[in-house]
């Protein structure tokens, strides 16, 4: 049962799902790092991305348009959510922030269920990604490789945005000391809104990219959210590199474990998280 082809293809699977997890977790972690809000609706935004893309694909039949529309739509939802609700919670206790985003996530999930039903929907892989390629030692669906490439590009774009632009500088300064940035005459409120929108877009984008790999249901984001928690706990909350490394590690753990026994893949993930918590409670890249 254990052969090289299988092993390599599982490694790839881990890499693909890990990169996706990394992107979603990065969205979660920059929002937390900047705004100090742990967004429990993040999984729902991921789900919403899949559905928005699904609708756009149904209307146009074009996968690229589906990706763009899905991502922008979720970004918009994120911005509206931030302006309408989240911003009133910056001064409230952490638990209130958790509760309100948790509630908002439920509302999003149930809205989608109301509109689309509970049955799973499938967005087909785009034509350029549908062939199965033969790498010699392993046969692999091409879309997954493409998805991996796209996600890596998205992560790189996010990195550049955070570390190489003026907005990114404000964001990172805001992580350190938001009131001070405000006092320097920079509109931190607008930055918060943008960051929340970007975080939501990361989730939404991942949602639509993932849709051809795993069918979408209204609850598709629930497990993803919890896996993101594991990723940021492993990587260190608020750390971008932590989210990336944590995501890949989590993806590989689940993938490799499922090669031996699929029913243990999630258990193993949480076991590793427990191990990290015991040995390094602040996470691999965390400072606190």
Partner 1 sequence: MSTSSRPFAWRAEAILALVLIIAPFVLPLIGGSADTLSRILIWGLFGLGFDLIFGFTGLLSFGQSVFYGSGGFIASYLLVSQSVGNVFVALVIGMAGAAVIGLVIGLLALRRSGIYFAMITVAFGEMFFFLENSALYPWTGGENGLPNVPKPRLFGFIFDSPWSLYGLLAVLFFIGYVIARRIVASPFGHVLTAIRDNPLRARAVGHDIQRYKLAVFVVAAAYAGISGGLEATLQGYMSPEAFTFETSGQLVIQTVIGGAGTLLGPLVGAALWLYLRNELQSALGLGAAWKLVLGVVFVVLIVFLRRGIIGGVSDLWTRFRPVPAAPPAPLYANPIATPTAPPTRHRQMPTDGIAIEAKGVGKRYGGIVANDGIDFAVRAGEIRGLIGPNGAGKSTFFKMLTGEVQPSAGKIFMFGEEITGLDVTAVCQKGIAKSYQINQLFQKLTVRRNLMISALSRTRGPFRLDLMANVDRMRELNADVTETLRLLDLTARADTPVSELAYGEKRRIEIGLALGTDPAILLLDEPLAGMSPSERADTVKLLRQIAVGRTLVVVEHDMDALFNMADRITVLQEGRVLAEGTPAEIQASQAVQDAYLGGIRAP
Strands 132-134 and 139-141, by their bridges, are: antiparallel
98 makes contact with partner 1 (CB under 8 A)? yes
Among 124, 131, 149, 281, indicate the residue that binds partner 1 (CB under 8 A): 281
Of the candidate residues 100, 123, 155, 248, the single one contacting partner 1 (CB under 8 A): 100
Q: Using an 8 Å Cβ cutoff, are 49 and 108 in contact?
A: no
Q: How far is the CB of 111 from partner 1 (least distance, A)?
A: 6
SS3 (DSSP) at 214: coil
The least distance separating partner 1 from the CB of residue 281, rounded to whole angstroms, comes to 5
51 near partner 1 (CB under 8 A): no
**Binding of partner 1 at residue 284 (CB under 8 A)?**
no
For partner 1, which is the closer residue by CB, 99 or 256? Answer: 99
Q: Using the rule CB under 8 A, is 113 a contact of partner 1? A: yes
Binder to partner 1 among 176, 179, 263, 279 (CB under 8 A)?
263
Among 2, 95, 176, 179, binds partner 1 (CB under 8 A): 95
Pick one of 85, 145, 146, 214: the residue that binds partner 1 (CB under 8 A).
Answer: 85
Q: Which is nearer to partner 1, 232 or 248 (CB)?
A: 232
Question: In the range 213-252, which residues lie near partner 1 by CB under 8 A?
Answer: 222-223, 226, 229-230, 232-233, 237
Pair of tokens at residue 71: 């991502």
Site for partner 1 (CB under 8 A): which residue of 106, 133, 157, 180?
A: 106
Token readout for 275 is 């191990």
From start to end of 34-187, where are the E strands? 132-134, 139-141
Distance between CA atoms of 242 and 58, rounded to whole angstroms? 37
Distance, first Cα to last Cα, the chain: 43
Distance CA 11, CA 271 (A): 20
Question: Is the CB of 175 or the CB of 237 nearer to partner 1?
Answer: 237
Minimum gap (Å) between residue 2 Cβ and partner 1: 19
Closest listed residue to residue 71, CA positions, set 170, 5, 177, 154: 154
Cβ of 42: how many Cβ atoms within 10 Å?
Answer: 28
Q: Given the structure tokens 């805001």, which residue do they identify?
A: 174
- # binding residues, partner 1 (CB under 8 A): 40
What count of other Cβ atoms lies within 10 Å of the Cβ of residue 213? 16
Question: CB–CB of 221/44 below 8 Å?
Answer: yes
Q: 114 Cβ partners below 8 Å, 6+ apart? A: none
> Would you count residue 259 as binding partner 1 (CB under 8 A)?
no
Q: Would you say 239 and 288 are in contact if contact means Cβ atoms under 8 Å apart?
A: no
177 lines the binding site for partner 1 (CB under 8 A): no
Question: Binding partner 1 by CB under 8 A: which of 3, 62, 64, 103?
Answer: 103
What are the structure tokens assigned to 207, written together? 């949602």
| Contact set with partner 1 (CB under 8 A) | 32, 38, 85, 88, 94-96, 98-100, 102-104, 106-107, 110-111, 113-114, 118, 222-223, 226, 229-230, 232-233, 237, 261, 263-264, 266-267, 270-271, 273-274, 277-278, 281
């Amino acid at each position: 049962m254990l052969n090289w082809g299988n092993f390599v293809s599982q490694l790839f699977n881990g890499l693909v799902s890990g990169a996706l997890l990394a992107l979603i977790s990065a969205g979660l972690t920059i929002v937390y790092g900047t705004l100090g809000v742990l967004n429990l609706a993040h999984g729902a935004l991921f789900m919403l991305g899949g559905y928005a893309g699904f609708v756009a694909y149904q209307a146009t039949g074009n996968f690229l348009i589906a990706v763009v529309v899905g991502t922008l739509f979720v970004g918009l939802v994120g911005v509206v959510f931030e302006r309408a609700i989240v911003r009133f919670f910056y001064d409230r206790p952490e638990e209130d922030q958790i509760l309100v985003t948790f509630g908002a996530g439920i509302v999003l999930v149930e809205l989608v269920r109301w509109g689309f039903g509970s049955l799973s929907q499938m967005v087909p892989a785009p034509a350029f990604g549908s062939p199965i390629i033969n790498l010699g030692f392993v046969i692999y669906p091409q879309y997954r490789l493409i998805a991996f490439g796209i996600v890596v590009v998205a992560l790189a774009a996010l990195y550049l945005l955070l570390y190489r632009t003026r907005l990114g500088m404000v964001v990172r300064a805001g992580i350190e000391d938001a009131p001070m940035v405000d006092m320097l005459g920079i509109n931190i409120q607008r930055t918060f809104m943008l960051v929340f929108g970007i975080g939501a877009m990361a989730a939404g984008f991942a949602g639509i990219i993932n849709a051809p790999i795993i069918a979408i249901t209204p609850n598709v984001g629930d497990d993803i959210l919890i896996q993101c928690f594991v990723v940021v706990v492993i990587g260190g909350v608020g750390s971008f590199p932590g989210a990336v490394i944590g995501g890949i590690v989590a993806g590989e753990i689940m993938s490799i474990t499922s090669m031996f026994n699929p029913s243990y893949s999630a258990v193993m993930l949480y076991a590793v998280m427990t191990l990290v918590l015991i040995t390094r409670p602040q996470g691999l890249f965390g400072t606190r």
